[in-house]
Amino acid sequence: MRHCQAPARIIVLVAAVMLNSLASYSQGGSSALDLDKLSASSKALSSSSTLLTADQIPTDDIVDPEIYRLGPGDVLAYQTNGIDFTEKMTVVSPENTVMIDRIGMLPIGQMTLAQFRDTLRSVFRRRSQTVEVYVTLRRARMIYVTLSGNMTFPGTYSVPASMRVSTFVNLMRQPWLLSRDGGLSEMARTANAATAVPSRTPEFARSNSPFLGPYAMRNILVRHRKGVSYVDIPKSRLDGYSHLDPHLREGDEVIVPTEQPTAQTISIAGAVVNPVVLAHKQGDKLSVLLAAAGGFTDNADRSNVTLVNSASGPSQKIQLNDDFTFEGEDITLSPGATLIVESIKLSGERDFGVVQVYGEVDNPGAYPVQSGTTRVASILQQAGGTTSKAALGLSYIVRPEVAPGTQIQQRDEANRSFQYSDLKLEDTTRYHFDQKYRMPYVSCDLATALRDSNSLDNVVLQSGDIVVVVPTPERVYVYGQVLRPGYVPYSPGKRLEWYVERAGGYATGAQEDRSRIIRGRSKVWVEEDENVVVEPGDEVYVPRPADVPINTEIQTYSVIASIAASVGLLAATVISLFR
């Protein structure tokens, strides 16, 4: 009897579960099929979230589906219309295949993104003629690319496949940008190695690409594992020519050629954003120059554009639209052709600019100047004059200059300046210090300029100059071999010795005869003299005993002893001769 009750209980329990499921389905609840769909959807979302929340990769230009070739690691997303419109994610496998839901494994081969879209659309339409498929690249893969040729940093780099050749070559100016962990420490570590175009390199060499000259930017060779591509950066900016600056692929070798000084050129000059010289290639047209120039400047005379297409032929006027395009046929350019965009000439035009005045004046700020005419005393008067706290002896005028950006550039510039000098070899280190830390000051004395407006110190200002009127420090810093180094209150007319005494006097071993005054503005070291007084903001430095190695001291004493012995022997010889 008990054995019969157990199966009956099981049957009742199963029936209850089935009735509960049917009730849930009839009331609009989730069926077992619905739960399966939700589970699959949850897994898909989880996978998508994992793929899309990984470390972000820098992107380059917009990916062109017609030239971007798929490869292992690309993350693709596709959707179909109809009942299931869920976005599905798939990753290209190392075998260069993708797994498509309800389709199976699909080989990629050497397909571009556009070709893959067409292939997937045709596969789905074998099942339904009305289905539409949407495919997009959600994340580009990372690849290894080799850089060689005439570049400062040849080698192999890891970059996203969406990167174009022009960007890859330009990034070699600061290779730390290609590192995912390239932070401030990496920047500091590679700062000495980062090289750019020297400051005296012609403008065309850094107009389109910081490293590439007119020949290289149009003749880069990319060697693929199968086949080659030729890169023409200026022409790739034209519609329909993006394939001349392709996306990178696995195993590519980017070869940058050496500049060819004898190569024929074409150029555009005048009132354009980017005056540039390009290497001439057979079939070049006017649109290539316009694409490289980037557009008009504000002062361009759009009605006065001249094309000199041949040294022997006549020039012709070109009508350019406001958007830097032209009407009619695209003109074929001859070697040596130049397009000149004139500037608008205004009657009575004068060169005006702006200078900045900072510090101890009544009304600091920006003031207009006429370059070559306005003088510093006039500007200081416009600023309300100097205040009672102004230290004119420490005040200065800065004229900003375009200096080499990196330490290598600075060293190259210094070596270039030192190349034909008649200085001695031991002057090199001192010269490098002076070159490296030179300040773009205008040589003048503001105190004299305000006192005598006709003096040479009342210099003419240029647009961009900065006039800094420094407040009186009212202190002098004394340091080195003194008993109490530190700030000492300034006292007018006092000499070096007085400030040393206020700092506790000389300490043991002080080299008193080598004490110096360091001028506050110029940092020039001045030797003590009865006519030299300390000025506010100056520093007083007392040297310590020289740190001489024991071997050097022994050698010095040996030389002195040898000289003394030689002198004694000579004296004895002379005395004996006289006797």
Mean pLDDT is lowest, of 40-44, 205-209, 526-530, for: 205-209
Tell me, what's the pLDDT at 173?
61
Beta-bridge mates of residue 365: 357
Joined together, the tokens standing for residue 529 give 């003299």
| Position 246 confidence tier, pLDDT thresholds 50, 70, 90 | very high
Q: For the segment 383-436, what is each residue's pLDDT rounded down to a tens digit?
A: 899 998 888 888 889 888 766 555 666 667 777 777 777 777 777 777 777 777
Element containing residue 540 per DSSP (H, E): strand 539-542
Structure token digits, residue 527: 């030797």
User: Residue 492 CB: number of other CB atoms within 10 A?
Assistant: 8
- Calpha distance 416→430 (Å, rounded): 15
- Closest to 469 in 3D by CA, of 386, 538, 354: 386
Averaged pLDDT, 242-255: 92
Mean pLDDT of 228-256: 91
Residues 92 and 107: their CA atoms lie apart, in Å, by: 9
pLDDT tens per residue, range 105-118: 999 988 999 999 99
> What are 517-575's pLDDT values in tens digits?
998 877 888 888 778 888 888 899 999 887 767 787 788 888 898 899 999 888 888 88
Residue 139 has pLDDT above 70, yes or no: yes
Q: CB 567: neighbour CB atoms within 10 A?
A: 10
CATH 3.40.50.300 is held by the domain 265-343: no
pLDDT digits (tens, 9 = 90+) for 156-172: 998 899 999 998 888 87
Average pLDDT (485-512) is 90
Name 470's Cβ contacts closer than 8 Å, sequence gap at least 6: 359, 360, 390, 391, 394, 395, 396, 521, 537
pLDDT at 439 over 50: yes
Cβ atoms of 374 and 405 closer than 8 Å:
no
pLDDT of residue 544: 86
* Helix intervals (H) in 263-334: 286-293
Whether residue 5 has pLDDT greater than 90? no
CATH 3.30.1950.10 fits 45-139, yes or no: yes
Per-residue pLDDT at 184 exceeds 80: no
Contact 113, 65 (CB under 8 A): yes
What does the alpha-carbon distance between residue 532 and residue 519 come to, in Å, rounded to a whole number?
Answer: 11
Q: What is the pLDDT of residue 551?
A: 80
Spatial separation of the C-alpha atoms in residues 472 and 391, rounded to whole Å = 5
Q: Tell me the sheet residues that pair with 366.
A: 356
The pLDDT, as a whole number, for residue 180 is 42
Confidence of residue 94 (pLDDT cuts 50, 70, 90): very high
Q: Where are the alpha helices (DSSP H) in 201-324?
A: 233-236, 286-293
The mean pLDDT value for 503-524 works out to 88
Closest by CA to 74, choosing from 135, 118, 147, is 135
SS3 at position 408: helix
Q: Which residue has the higher pLDDT, 527 or 85?
A: 527
**pTM of the full structure:** 0.52
59-74 tens-digit pLDDT:
666 888 999 999 999 9
Show the tokens assigned to 346.
């205004």
Give me the CATH topology for the region 475-542. Answer: Outer membrane lipoprotein wza fold like (3.10.560)
Angle value at C-alpha 481, between 476 and 484, nearest 5 degrees: 55
Average pLDDT of the chain to the nearest whole number = 79
**What pLDDT was estimated at residue 15?**
53
Query: For the chain, how many helices (H) and strands (E)?
Result: 13, 24
Neighbouring C-beta atoms of residue 426, cutoff 10 Å: 7
Dist. CA 180–CA 195, nearest whole Å:
21
Average pLDDT over residues 47-52: 50
At residue 144, the pLDDT reads 92
Dig out the tokens for 561 from the structure: 């002893």
Residue 201 confidence class, pLDDT cut points 50, 70, 90: very low
Say what the pLDDT of residue 408 is.
Answer: 66
Of 335, 344, 208, the C-alpha closest to 275 is: 208
